[in-house]
Amino acid sequence: MKAAVLVVLAVTFLYKIWLSLLKARSMKNPIPASVADVYDESTYQKWRSYQSENLRFGLLSGVVSFLIAVLMLALNVHALFAGLFPEGWVSQLFAVALIETLSEILLIPFSYYDTMHIEEKYGFNRTSVKTFWSDQLKEFLLSLIIMTGVGMILGGLHRWLGDGLIVAFALVMFLLILLISFLFPYLSRIFNKFTPLEEGELKDRLTSLLEQHGFQVRAIQVMDASRRSTKSNAYFTGFGKLKTIVLYDTLVEAMTVDEICAVFAHEMGHGLHKDTLKNQILSFAQMAVIGVMAWLVLRTEPLFTAFGFSEINYGFALILIMSVGFALLFPLWGLLANWHSRRAEYAADAQAVAEGYGEALISALKKLARENLSDLSPSPLLVKLEYSHPSLSQRIEAIEKALKK
């Protein structure tokens, strides 16, 4: 059993290595004519340097992460650490959740180097040392709480329902995802500050854009994304017709009113096409798959004894489900999920064109690509396997066709 788990981990790791090599090969592809004006020569060389450094560092951190996971499993570290805690399924679950979360601390130096050196070197980082460590502490606590909480749900349902766990766990996890989506505006305040958008043309046009499609605007807020990065985005939250618009302050600073409206018209397109609902259906299907995996894992007690446990440990069951079971199925699942996501992106772009912002959207997308040092010529295979969005040239070509219509 132990050998089988370690083999699966190795296979999934090698798959990630192959994807990295595919990305490296993509860097040699010619840039499509539709996006040839995104980078000047110096910026293009900067992009190549940024991509190369990211790939090399990503491979290094990936190898270290893989070795930590393998060594912890091979040496029965989870069971040994749990042995320091009192007996009882809840305390044993918490012990595994704690050691798994603590193991992430070993990767903090890589995160620090990535943020404070690589991102800083290429002009993306605005995170102070204080903010970085504050974020690490918050992420540690959230990870521990989430893993312990999900493990308690898994354990409670299994002890109560036995084989009825499949449907119950899938349903409860799906409802938990909905709850997190509902609480996201509040949870995001743990990491960022939000201020109301000042009165003016931008606020009036964004409000009008939503209201003419039957939405009500609760608020338009600007998030202090510039505390951490120069990268830009926009989104809106809220269930039903009542929405809150959120703009990154970097977006407000870098783009014209038309470009901001174009980006938001795209986001509004997702709302009009009920992409959130479709994603929730996909999430439920995903939870159903995880429910089946949970049932299989918990019915296979030798999986736990092979790693030093005397009985089922629900925290360790989560590790097996996510890092072994779902990781093995993820490439296939990713194909489906990414295909669906790319279709939704095309449709949202078409909505922005329909709102009269086609040219502004092209301008905004090019500006975002330039600021984020995006890959302009990824391998078509890499796009199908990895990309939740079409490549920039694919999006621009689709927008130009829609404009002609």
DSSP class per residue in 4-61? HHHHHHHHHHHHHHHHHHHHHHHTTSPPPGGGTTS--HHHHHHHHHHHHHHHHHHHHH
- Interatomic CA distance for residues 364 and 144, integer angstroms: 39
Query: Which pLDDT score, from 0 to 100, does residue 98 have?
Result: 95
One-character DSSP codes across 203-222: HHHHHHHHHTTT-EEEEEEE
Task: Detail the DSSP E strand segments found in 216-322.
Answer: 216-223, 234-237, 242-248
Confidence of residue 240 (pLDDT cuts 50, 70, 90): low
Q: What is the pLDDT of residue 290?
A: 81
Encode pLDDT of 102-119 as tens digits.
999 999 999 999 989 888
Q: Looking at mean pLDDT, say which of 141-145, 174-178, 269-273 comes out highest.
A: 141-145
- The pLDDT-based confidence of 221 (bands split at 50, 70, 90) is confident
Q: Are the C-beta atoms of 383 and 21 separated by less than 8 Å?
A: no
pLDDT at 268: 86
Gyration radius of the chain over CA positions: 23
Parallel, antiparallel, or unpaired: how do β-strands 234-237 and 216-223 relate? Answer: unpaired
**282-326: pLDDT as tens digits:** 878 888 888 888 888 888 888 899 999 998 999 999 898 888 877
Strongest mean pLDDT among 141-145, 186-190, 243-247, 329-333 = 141-145
The per-residue pLDDT for 123 is 79
Which of the four pLDDT bands, split at 50, 70 and 90, describes residue 66? very high
Element (H, E) at 252: helix 249-254
* Portion of the chain with pLDDT greater than 70, in percent: 96
Residues 6+ apart with CB under 8 A from 273: 344, 347, 348, 351
Write down the pLDDT at residue 242.
67
Question: Whole-prediction pTM value?
Answer: 0.79
The average confidence (pLDDT) of the chain is 86
Q: Which among 6, 30, 1 has a CA at the least distance from the CA of 379?
A: 30
pLDDT at 234 over 70: yes
Cβ neighbour number for residue 75 with a 10 Å cutoff: 12
- pLDDT, residue 215, reads 78
Closest CA to 239 of 190, 174, 184: 184
Which is more confidently placed, 51 or 276?
A: 51
